[in-house]
Amino acid sequence: MSSKNTLPAGTKLGHYKILSHLGAGGMGEVYLAQDTKLNRKVAIKLLPAGSLESETANRRLLREAQSAAKLDHPNICGILEVSEADGRNFICMQYVEGETLEARM
């Protein structure tokens, strides 16, 4: 699951500490992180490396978070915040433990 652009465990993004890489998709990399303020596990979605300075990618990330934040359903992870740390924009979401859809099928 890891690539040369994957953040290593222990990397800090604001008050979040990266624990592991969960996966990747068209909109970015997803990590399991520890919220050091509230002492809970969260999922962090970062824009892919190389798009960090793209205003279009940043706008798309914000639109994705705004759209997801409007949804309230037990099968959808809630958005906790949209933030920036060390020049990297990210979405912080609820983390739900369990197997992947791929593993389930």
Contact predicate 47/27, CB 8 Å: yes
Query: Sign of torsion, CA 45 32 42 23?
Result: positive
Q: What is the pLDDT of residues 41-57, one digit of tens each?
A: 999 999 876 665 688 88
Residue with tokens 């990590």: 31
Stated pTM of the model: 0.84
Tens digits of per-residue pLDDT, 11-67? 999 999 999 999 987 778 999 999 999 999 999 999 876 665 688 888 888 898 999
Instruction: Report residue 23 as tokens.
Output: 């996966």
* Domain 12-104, CATH homologous superfamily name and number: Phosphorylase Kinase; domain 1 (3.30.200.20)
Please say whether the beta carbons of 45 and 91 come within 8 A.
Answer: yes
* Phi, psi (rounded to 5 degrees) for 65: -65, -40
